[in-house]
C-alpha cells in the first residue's frame, strides 16, 4: 500500500502549482479527482506540462457557475480529505467552492488556497504569473547581481516551489487533523514561496555591509560552468573547500595557484575565473570529467533532457518511468514500504464523470438531468463522454 492511499483529494486548480502538488500526492497513493472547468485545464494545450503534472488522476468537468454544478461539487466535498484551489481571492466564494461553505459540509476538510500573493494584503487581487512573482520576491535582483542582468528562468521556479510548499502544508495539516479531529484552511502565497528560497540573500541584505555582500555561493569563481574543447559545458562545484581546489589545480596543471586559500581566491575571483575558462578549453568535457572525478573533485557534464534516460544513476534508481509512449519523472524519494512510482498517464477531459457521479449518489436518470442542465459544461463540450 502506498503511504497516502487513505486520502482523497479534490483538485480544483489549473496550470502548474496545484496540479504539481496533487501529482506528488497521487504518486504517493492519494486518489486525486481533478475538477476541470468547461473546456478543460488550459494546460492541456501544453502536452508536456499537462501530462507531467496530471498523471494518475481522475477527471470530471464541472461548470461551477451553474447551480447544479455547484451541487455536484458539494457532494464531492462531503467525503474528501483535501481540496486545492488556485483562483484569485474572492472567486471561490462566488462559485460556492470556498472553505467556509464546504467546511460546513465536511468539518475535517483540509483546504488549501494557492494564489499569487495570498488572500490578504494590498497585492492580494493583483494579476501575476511566475515571472512577476520572481520579480517581486527579489529573485531577479540576485540574478542580475551575479550575471549582469536578469533572465527569465527556463523552469517555473515559484510555481514549482509553491506546489512543493502546498504539499508540505497540506500533509502537515492532515497530521494535525489526525490529532484534533478538525480540518484547517491554508492560505499559500506563490510570491512568498519564491521569497523563502532567498533566505541567505535577504539575511545578507539586512545584516552585511552592502559592498561586501555576496549572493549565496554563485559568486565563487570555482562554483561555475565552463565550456570545453568540444563545446560541451562542465559544472565545477567547489565552494569553500581548499582540498577540492588543491586537487583541481593538480589535475589541470595550475600548480602555482594550488595553495591560494579561499578568502584570497575570492579576492582574486576575476583572475581565477579567466584562468579556469582558459584551461578547460584545452580538453573535451568527458576528458576533464573523468580526470577530475578520479581526483574526487565535484564535477559534472551538463546533460540534455534527451540524454537522461541513458543515465546509469537514474536507471539504477528508476528515476524515470515509462508509461506507454511517454516518460515521466518519478518522485525523488524511495520508501522502504514499497514503490511510489506513477502508474498511469493523465486523464482525458471528463473521463471519470460517470463513475464519480454514481459513486456520490446520483442515479442514472439524475446524471442525465445534470448533463442537460449544463452542470458539466455545454453538451458539445461533453458529448463524447455521454455514452
- For the chain, give the mean pLDDT: 92
29 and 168 housed in the same domain: yes
Q: Of 278, 307, 336, which residue is a domain's last?
A: 307
Say what the pLDDT of residue 218 is.
76
Whether 211 has a pLDDT exceeding 80, the answer reads: no
238 and 113 housed in the same domain: no
Q: 3-state class of 254 per DSSP?
A: coil
More confident residue, 130 or 217: 130
Q: 3-state class of 234 per DSSP?
A: strand
E strand map for the chain: 8-11, 31-36, 58-61, 82-85, 110-115, 184-189, 223-227, 233-237, 299-301, 320-323, 326-329
DSSP state of 375: B
Q: For residue 334, is it within any domain? A: no
CA distances from 219 to 63, 114, 278 (A): 51, 33, 19
Backbone dihedral region for residue 186 (phi beyond 0: left; psi -120 to 50: alpha; all else: beta): beta
Stretch 64-76: mean pLDDT:
96
Q: For residue 317, is it within any domain? A: no
Say what the pLDDT of residue 216 is.
67
Stretch 108-115: mean pLDDT:
97
103 and 68 housed in the same domain: yes
Whether 384 has a pLDDT exceeding 70, the answer reads: no
Boundaries of domain holding 245: 223-307
Say what the pLDDT of residue 336 is.
83
Alpha-carbon distance of 13 to 367, in angstroms, equals: 24
Stretch 304-320: mean pLDDT:
89
Whether 235 has a pLDDT exceeding 90, the answer reads: yes
Say what the pLDDT of residue 214 is.
61
Residue 187 pairs with which residues in a beta bridge? 113
134 and 18 housed in the same domain: yes
Strands across the sheet with 58-61, in order? 58-61, 31-36, 8-11, 82-85, 110-115, 184-189
192 and 228 housed in the same domain: no
Q: For residue 331, is it within any domain? A: no
- Number of independent structural domains in the chain: 2
Whether 267 has a pLDDT exceeding 60, the answer reads: yes
Q: How confident is the model at residue 387 (pLDDT cuts 50, 70, 90)?
A: very low
DSSP state of 66: S
Sequence-separated contacts (24+) of 43-46 with Cβ below 8 Å: 43/14, 43/15, 43/16, 43/19, 44/349
357 and 271 housed in the same domain: no
Whether 213 has a pLDDT exceeding 90, the answer reads: no
Q: How confident is the model at residue 385 (pLDDT cuts 50, 70, 90)?
A: very low
Burial (CB < 10 A; 0-12, 13-18, 19+), residue 142, is: buried
230 and 106 housed in the same domain: no
Whether 380 has a pLDDT exceeding 80, the answer reads: no
H-run or E-run covering 23: helix 17-27
Say what the pLDDT of residue 381 is.
55
Q: For residue 12, is it within any domain? A: yes
Phi and psi at residue 44, to the nearest 5°? -60, -20
Tens of pLDDT, residue by residue over 91-106, are 999 999 999 999 999 9
The answer to whether residues 248 and 288 touch, using CB atoms and an 8 Å cutoff, is no
Whether 89 has a pLDDT exceeding 90, the answer reads: yes
Stretch 183-209: mean pLDDT:
87
Domain containing 377 — which CATH number? 3.40.50.10540
Tens of pLDDT, residue by residue over 135-147, are 999 899 888 887 8
Whether 382 has a pLDDT exceeding 60, the answer reads: no
Whether 363 has a pLDDT exceeding 70, the answer reads: yes
Q: For residue 244, is it within any domain? A: yes
151 and 289 housed in the same domain: no
227 and 290 housed in the same domain: yes
54 and 131 housed in the same domain: yes
Q: For residue 74, is it within any domain? A: yes
Cβ count near 201 (within 10 Å): 18
Alpha-carbon distance of 56 to 342, in angstroms, equals: 7
Stretch 207-219: mean pLDDT:
63
Q: Of 251, 279, 307, which residue is a domain's last?
A: 307
Q: Of 241, 275, 307, which residue is a domain's last?
A: 307
Domain containing 283 — which CATH number? 3.30.1540.10
Alpha-carbon distance of 283 to 143, in angstroms, equals: 30
Amino acid at each position: 500500500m502506498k503511504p497516502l492511499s487513505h486520502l482523497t483529494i479534490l483538485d480544483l486548480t489549473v496550470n502548474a502549482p496545484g496540479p504539481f502538488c496533487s501529482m506528488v500526492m497521487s504518486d504517493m497513493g492519494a486518489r486525486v479527482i481533478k475538477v476541470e472547468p468547461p473546456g478543460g485545464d488550459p494546460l492541456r494545450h501544453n502536452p508536456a506540462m499537462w501530462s507531467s503534472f496530471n498523471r494518475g488522476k481522475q477527471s470530471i468537468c464541472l461548470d461551477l457557475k451553474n447551480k447544479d454544478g455547484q451541487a455536484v461539487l458539494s457532494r464531492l466535498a462531503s467525503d474528501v480529505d483535501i481540496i486545492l484551489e488556485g483562483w484569485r481571492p474572492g472567486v471561490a466564494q462566488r462559485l460556492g467552492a470556498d472553505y467556509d461553505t464546504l467546511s460546513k459540509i465536511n468539518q475535517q476538510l483540509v483546504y488549501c488556497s494557492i494564489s499569487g500573493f495570498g488572500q490578504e494584503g494590498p497585492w492580494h487581487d493583483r494579476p501575476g504569473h511566475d515571472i512577476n512573482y520572481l520579480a517581486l520576491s527579489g529573485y531577479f535582483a540576485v540574478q542580475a547581481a551575479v550575471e549582469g542582468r536578469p533572465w527569465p528562468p527556463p523552469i517555473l521556479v515559484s510555481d514549482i516551489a509553491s506546489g512543493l510548499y502546498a504539499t508540505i502544508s497540506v500533509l502537515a495539516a492532515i497530521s494535525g487533523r489526525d490529532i484534533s479531529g478538525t480540518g484547517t484552511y491554508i492560505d499559500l502565497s506563490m510570491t512568498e514561496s519564491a521569497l523563502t528560497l532567498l533566505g541567505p540573500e535577504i539575511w545578507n541584505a539586512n545584516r552585511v555591509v552592502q559592498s561586501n555582500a555576496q549572493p549565496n555561493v554563485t559568486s565563487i569563481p570555482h562554483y561555475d560552468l565552463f565550456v570545453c574543447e568540444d563545446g560541451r559545458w562542465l559544472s565545477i562545484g567547489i565552494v569553500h573547500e581548499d582540498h577540492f581546489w588543491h586537487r583541481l589545480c593538480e589535475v589541470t596543471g595550475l600548480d602555482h595557484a594550488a595553495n591560494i586559500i579561499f578568502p584570497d581566491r575570492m579576492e582574486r575571483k576575476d583572475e581565477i575565473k579567466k584562468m579556469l575558462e582558459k584551461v578547460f578549453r584545452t580538453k573535451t568535457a568527458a576528458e576533464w570529467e573523468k580526470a577530475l572525478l578520479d581526483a574526487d573533485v565535484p564535477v559534472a557534464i551538463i546533460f540534455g533532457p534527451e540524454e537522461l534516460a541513458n543515465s546509469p544513476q537514474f536507471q539504477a534508481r528508476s528515476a524515470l518511468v515509462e508509461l506507454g509512449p511517454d516518460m515521466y519523472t518519478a518522485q525523488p524519494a524511495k520508501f522502504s514500504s514499497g514503490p511510489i512510482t506513477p502508474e498511469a498517464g493523465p486523464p482525458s477531459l471528463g473521463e471519470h464523470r460517470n463513475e464519480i457521479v454514481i459513486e456520490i449518489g446520483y442515479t442514472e436518470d439524475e446524471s442525465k438531468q445534470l448533463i442537460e442542465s449544463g452542470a458539466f459544461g455545454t453538451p458539445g463540450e461533453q458529448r463524447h463522454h455521454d455514452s
